[in-house]
A and B are shown apart, each in its own frame.
Chain A
Amino acid sequence: MPFPLGGDFGRVVSRGFNVVSSDPETDQGDGLVYAGPTASGSSFSASQPPGAEKDHPVHQLLESVSRTKEFYNFSGGTTGSGVLSKVSSNVSSAWTHSVVPLAATSFWRMAQFNPGEYPRLPGVFSDLFVYDVVTSFTSYNSRIIHMIDTLAARIKQAGDPSMSGNVIQTDYYTTVSGQVDPCIGDFEPPFITYIAPTASGLEVRPRDQAIEFSLSDVITGVDISTVFASVNSTTSGTFSLLANGSDQTGGHVNVTGDATSYNFRYVPPFLWDYNDIVTVTISGSDLTPMVGGNPFFCTASGTNSFTGTIPFQVLNETSLPASLTVIGDTVPPYISQAVPASGTTGNSVFDPVVVKVADDLTGVDLSTLIVNVDSNPIVSAGVPSSSETVITGTPTEYTVTYTPTSAFTYGSTTNVAVSAADLVSITAPNSFSSLYDFSFIEDSTLVIENFVPAVGTHHNLDQLDIKVDVRDDTYGVDADQTFFVINGTVTSGTQTLLASGIQLTYHPPNDFNFDEPIRVTVHGTNGNVSAPVVKEAFYTLFYGCRILYFNDDPFPHATNVDVFVRARNVEALHKDLTTGYFFTSYTQPSSDFGASIEAINPQADLPATLTVIGPEHNYGQTVTVEFSVEDFEGNLLGPYIFTYTIENKPD
């Protein structure tokens, strides 16, 4: 069974005539009598029983036609158009129709009853034909109506001898004896009897889909040398399967069968791509047609060719849409932590101010961060205003730590103003500003006093005890939280109780370096448990020439040189007490002079004591010291040369 294809493959139809006759008395009422399917040969001599095909749909439909005699006359010549007219007397009006000449012959004229044009013929008979035989064929006294339905060809003959000319009588018939040679030939192309995948549209197929089709031509056979097949793939492009019947795929097309029916099977050596749309185009012809029968009827036509397609799609995919509703960032940044917290009281004046700004969604835009403390900007546009402020963190949360060099004032209230925006850019950023305040603890009677060494005094290092009194007449002193911080190191030293406090004493276990000043912080905390007050005092001890230095061996006792320099500089200020003056030469190879300058008042007289003692000195040695003083303006005082002699080694 042929499959419906994209192309027109037509049908194989034998042109052998079935010639029938009719007795009017046995007419079925439509004036048409049909032959059975037996007269496919080249001759006939007997009529078929009337009504043999009565049940045929064509017949059934025609039964509704009146029995009124109707005569039709072809007019016109053997070519061109003419008129098919009613000529009988009992027909009131002529019924005309164009004559369509048959191609390639002058012996036939054909009228085609188009749908609906003949009111008593149902409009479905678009393929009802009336054929007229020209006079050269009158020896058979034949008028032939050739009706073709979708299944077979039929011939009807009007044999009324009284009629002449190109007249068709459709009412009664006489038995006709004689011969009408059939025209036997192959008028149809090969057709496809099998296709895989089926071609009723885009078939969804697996990726290893093979392509199969069978070509058949039962009349003359398929001319294998005319068969072409090619593939057009949306992803693999176009390539040939068959050319002139030969495999073009390197052995992947298998051909079986013979001219009557060839079977082709292509198994691709690859997998079709997902979603590939594949179209296979097939074409071919049959062999040289057979032609026989009456030469008036039969002429040779060429070979019959066809083209067809097989489309399919490797549609092995499915979609799963997903949706969500985006909830945008409409939440501004916020203060995630503040220390001291907003509204709190009794905070330590020494604690830093810490504020954390967070944004959980898009994050904080640092460039928008502003923090003011008591209206003083400590962060502007995300940049710290001084080294007192440090910013750490990420856009999720930034931490601002403000540690002022000067403690806050006891009992004061400080306000902090913070503002920032988030990083939303597709809409306007969300911003916030916040102002909060907190207060510090009130001052107390906590006192730090009596620091030793006193200002202006000079001490030997091994006698250098640092002392201070920490006292609170109301709450007492928290000894555990009262201590020294000396050069950055916390030390509690020795604590001696006083009447309302303690005295801290620190005796250095080792000598300090001469190079650096000694920085002492006294940290005192009173005994107010609920709101302890902390105070700190700061002192700096500078080395000076008046701080005597006692050497170890070889100087078991003092052998030093007191050098007193009184310099006066009234034009230039001294930038730094420890570096504004320095020694420029010394006869000894040592670079360590073992002394420094202490300036009591840089703008007044500058006394200095040089203690020049070094391990290289020997008993009885004479030492020469060259001393000069220079200020930063390049003014040099000196050099002054001193000579002294070290005592002899004692017994």
Chain B
Amino acid sequence: MAAVSRWVRYPIAGTTGFSTIQNGTRGLQRGTANTSDKFTIPGGANNQMKVNIDGAAGPAPYQITLTSGTDLDPRFVARDIQRKLQTAGAGVNDGFDYCQVEFSNYKSSNGFGQFVIRSGTTDTGSTVAITAGDSSVLSLLGLNSLATENGTNDHLGTSTDALDAAYTGTATVSGVYRGAFDDLYQLTIGDIQPIGTATAAGGNTYGISNAGVATGGGFWNGDADETYTVTIATTNGQTVGGGTGNVPTFTVTSTQSDDVATAQEILYADEPYYIGTRGLTISWSDAPFGSGDVFTVICTKPTTVDGSNPTGAVAVAEYQYRSFLGDDSSAVTVTSVGGTALGRKGLTVGFSDSGVLTPRDEFKVVCKGPTPEAFGVTNMVYGNVTVTTESPVKVHQFEIISGAVDMSSVKFSLQSHGTFSHHDAGDLDTFFRYGTAGFGNPGDGTSNPNEGPEWTTSVLAADIATAKTSGNTGAPIHLDSTVTDLAVVSSADNAEDVGNRSLVADFVWTNIRLGAQESGANSSINYRLYFDYV
């Protein structure tokens, strides 16, 4: 099956954002009728839906028209819906501005992935209402049958307040979110990490006989210790990626009866799957499962704020944080007025010193990555560039929208410098500059996902005018790697590595410094991106 891909352009000055601190659960609506993992959206009909979030007044609900395509990947479709809802309802309310759409097994009653649209807010006013568009796409997406959850001020899965009334202060988030994707962070007061590791049972094929890695995550914050047991069935398949009906499934039992009896499909590697209803997730790397493989996750309720005190003021109470995409703290942090890290992508959180914090108090922040400005880009236009000067810097992103379940080995290169006659001509007077960063290979030298900045507003020509190898901690610290002057290469082996997350590649910044002697009214070059997929 051939993969269908496209280029997406971002504004060089594109900004990110984050919500104010939230408590409780978000309102949502989710489909319950889907049984597929590929979606064909017609171009001229059956491609519209209307959504209202948080009960916005007219002209809400807003109608969006989905991107058409054959056998579209559901994660792409979810991203498409999310972008369009955020755009349609921009400035209307935080529910629209920070809404999130996912294709997941969240409370899936049939075990298949379903589209879930969540409000960007929490609490009782947080709602989502999906209705048919003028030419409805709902049936195609399994959204013709819906389940609804309105927002609450509760912990997920419990009826206790997410924020104890004893804390009368205010938590404030500041900084600049540097993530490439929208994400949700949750900060929980306590002296421990509530979610343990996902442990493979000794008899497992996955994780024991092979190198598969299961990672526990999510936002479990229950009111009693709970051990989840996840059991794999390989009746339909041993490995992920085979498409619905051909992949492993799992069921769940828990010591607090948060069970999932209906087999849930594991469609993709390294994507979080909901384990129960209380926020716990597991993501599995790509490795064969064995029939009856078992994974255990121990979730523990924190009982003190610092290891000894049942409550504590700011500067005494500790917290840990997690994000849906896996930006998880490795240790607890003491709360402070001045602010301490919330994730590793630029945010800090400070607490006003008023009242006391209690274990399990939770605070949420919805983060929004940069918004694209053009899709399906087929030509990068630098515009008029005067010799000896730097062209504007452009930033693009490559993504697969169908025909694949995962992508790897992404490489970027200059295939042709076209009519530019002063590139690598010995005088080095024309330079094709390049830089990259993103979820797969963030800046700051780690090159590990979730450990550094992925997006930087207004990257300058000077930033990519100096060479930096991936993993280097030198300047520019906000990019993973840069190349002063791309050479024309014809082999992927000589191309530049670009990171990725599932079907979306990292950002690629480029510009051209024209040599003094260049001429020609309209000169063109060709960049080439290599990728592998399954």
By secondary structure, the B interface counts as strand
B428 in contact (CB, < 8 A): no
Chain B contact residue count (CB 8 A cutoff): 48
Q: Is the CB of A318 within 8 A of B492?
A: no
A328 and B512 CA atoms in complex are apart in Å by 14
Does residue A325 face the partner (Cβ distance < 8 Å to B)?
A: yes
CB 8 Å contact bits of B490-534 with A (1 = contact, 0 = none): 011000000000000000001010101111111111111111111
Please tell me if the beta carbons of A427 and B519 are within 8 angstroms of each other in the complex.
yes
Given A273-B492, A322-B510, A328-B519, check contact A203 B381 (CB 8 Å): no
Nearest Cβ in chain A — how far from B243, in angstroms?
14
Task: Please name all residues of chain A whose beta carbon is closer than 8 Å to the beta carbon of B532 when the two chains form the complex.
Answer: 206-208, 271, 274, 316
Q: Shortest distance in angstroms between A198's beta carbon and chain B's nearest beta carbon?
A: 9
Q: Does A425 contact B (CB under 8 A)?
A: yes
User: Is there an interface contact between A425 and B526, defined as CB atoms closer than 8 Å?
Assistant: no
User: Do A323 and B523 contact each other (CB < 8 Å), given the known contacts A206-B534, A274-B530, A423-B516?
Assistant: yes
* Residue in chain B with minimal CB distance to A313: B2
Q: Does A101 contact B (CB under 8 A)?
A: no
A321-B380 contact in complex given A206-B533, A316-B3, A423-B516, C-beta closer than 8 Å:
yes
**Is the pair B382, A323 in contact by a Cβ cutoff of 8 Å?**
yes
Chain A residue numbers with a CB within 8 Å of B528 are 317-320
Chain A residues whose CB sits within 8 angstroms of the CB of B531 once the complex forms: 316-318
By a CB distance below 8 angstroms, the chain A residues around B404 are 206
Q: Which listed residue (A274, A316, A328) contacts B518, Cβ 8 A? A: A328
Docked Cα-Cα span, A467 to B7, in Å, equals: 85
A-side contacts of B512, CB under 8 Å: 322, 324
Residue A284 interfacial (CB < 8 Å): no
Q: Which of B16-24, B352-360, B383-391, B468-476 contacts A (4 or more CB under 8 A)?
A: B383-391
Cα distance A317–B523 in the bound complex, in angstroms? 23
Q: Contact: A361 with B386, CB < 8 Å?
A: yes
- Verify A316–B523 contact, CB threshold 8 A: no
Interface string of B381-406 (1 = CB under 8 A from A): 11111111101001010100000100
Instruction: State the CA gap A264–B522 with chains docked (Å).
Output: 53
* Per-position binary interface string of chain A over residues 193-217, scored 1 when its CB falls under 8 Å from any chain B CB and 0 otherwise: 0000000000110111000000000
A424 at the interface (CB under 8 A from B): yes
Is the pair A208, B534 in contact by a Cβ cutoff of 8 Å? Answer: yes
Minimum CB–CB distance for A191 against chain B, Å: 24
Asked if B378 CB lies within 8 Å of chain A CBs, one says yes
Closest to B429 in A: A362
Chain B residues near A273 (CB-CB < 8 A): 492
Query: Interface centre among A316, A319, A325, by most B CB within 10 Å?
Result: A316
CB within 8 Å: A-B pair count: 131
Given A320-B7, A362-B388: A325 and B521 interface contact (C-beta under 8 Å): yes
Given A206-B534, A323-B523, A326-B520, decide whether A360 and B381 contact each other with a Cβ distance below 8 A. Answer: no
Residue of A nearest to B382 (CB): A324
Is A363 an interface residue, CB under 8 A from the partner? yes
Measured between beta carbons, the chain B residues less than 8 angstroms from A327 are 384-387
Assembly CA distance A318 to B398 (angstroms): 9
**A324 near B523 (CB under 8 angstroms)?**
yes
CB of A104 within 8 A of chain B? no
Closest to A317 in B: B530
Chain B residues, CB < 8 A from A325: 383-385, 521-523
Chain B nearest CB from A637 CB (Å) reads 68
A320 to B387, CA, bound (A): 23
Cβ contact within 8 Å between B387 and A329: yes
| A426 close to chain B: CB less than 8 A | yes
Checking B380, B382, B391, B492 against A320 with a beta-carbon cut-off of 8 angstroms, the contacting residue is B380
Q: In the complex, what distance in Å separates the CA atom of A204 from the CA atom of B516?
A: 42
How many angstroms between the C-alpha atoms of A368 and B377 in the bound complex? 47
Residue of B whose beta carbon sits closest to that of A422: B516
The answer to whether A361 touches B379, judged by C-beta atoms less than 8 angstroms apart, is no
CB nearest neighbor in B for A328: B519
Q: Which residues of B contact A361 (CB under 8 A)?
A: 386-389, 516
Contact flag A322-B382 (CB < 8 Å), given A204-B2, A317-B530, A363-B516? yes
0 or 1 for each of A351-364: is its CB under 8 Å from B? (1 = yes): 00000000011110
| A323→B519 contact, CB < 8 A | no
Nearest A residue to B508 by beta-carbon distance?
Answer: A320
Contacts A207-B532, A321-B378 given; indicate if A326 touches B2 (C-beta within 8 A): no
With contact pairs A316-B531, A317-B529, A318-B528 given, residues A326 and B409 touching in the complex (Cβ less than 8 Å): no
Check if B522 sits within 8 Å of A204, measured CB to CB.
no
Q: Does B67 contact A (CB under 8 A)?
A: no
The residues of A that contact B379 with a CB separation of less than 8 Å are 320-323
| Separation of A631 and B520 alpha carbons in the complex (Å) | 73
**Minimum CB–CB distance for A478 against chain B, Å:** 48
Give the distance to chain A from B34, nearest Cβ to Cβ, in Å: 26
Whether B385 and A329, one on each chain, are in contact in the complex, defined by CB atoms closer than 8 angstroms, is no
In the bound complex, residues from chain A placing their C-beta under 8 Å from that of B388 are 329, 360-362
B244 is an interface residue with CB less than 8 A from chain A: no
B329 at the interface (CB under 8 A from A): no
- Please indicate the chain B residues that have their CB under 8 angstroms from the CB of A363 in the complex: 516
Within 8 Å by CB of B517, from A207, A360, A362, lies: A362
Residue B5 at the chain A interface, CB threshold 8 Å: yes
Q: Determine how close the nearest CB of chain B comes to the CB of A102; give it in whole angstroms.
A: 46
Closest to A273 in B: B492
Chain B residues closer than 8 Å to A360, beta-carbon distance: 388
Distance in angstroms between the alpha carbons of A274 and B517 in the assembled complex: 35
Instruction: Tell whether A319 pairs with B526 under 8 Å between CB atoms, given A329-B388, A424-B517, A427-B519.
Output: yes
Distance in angstroms between the alpha carbons of A362 and B429 in the assembled complex = 10
CA distance A423 to B514 in the complex (A): 15
Partner of A203, one of B2, B378, B385, B534: B2
- Contact (Cβ within 8 A) A320 B385: no
Chain B residues near A424 (CB-CB < 8 A) = 516-517
Chain A residues whose C-beta falls within 8 Å of the C-beta of B391 in the assembled complex: 324
Does the CB pair A323–B522 fall under 8 Å?
yes
Is the Cβ of A326 less than 8 Å from the Cβ of B514? Answer: yes
Chain A residues 248 to 274 lying within 8 A of chain B, measured CB to CB, are 271, 273-274
Q: Is B172 an interface residue (CB 8 A)?
A: no
10 A-B pairs closest in CB distance = A324-B382, A322-B380, A204-B2, A362-B516, A327-B386, A323-B524, A274-B492, A320-B527, A361-B388, A207-B532
Residues of A within 8 A of B (CB): 203-204, 206-208, 271, 273-274, 315-329, 360-363, 423-427
The chain B residues found within 8 Å of chain A, CB to CB, are 2-3, 5, 7, 377-389, 391, 394, 396, 398, 404, 409, 415, 491-492, 510, 512, 514, 516-534
Would you list 8 pairs from A and B whose C-beta atoms are within 8 A, ordered by A residue?
A: A207-B532, A273-B492, A317-B492, A320-B380, A323-B379, A323-B381, A324-B384, A324-B391
Q: Given known contacts A323-B380, A324-B523, A328-B386, what 13 new A-B pairs fall within 8 Å (CB)? A: A206-B404, A206-B532, A271-B532, A317-B530, A319-B527, A321-B380, A322-B394, A323-B382, A324-B512, A326-B518, A328-B387, A362-B387, A426-B517
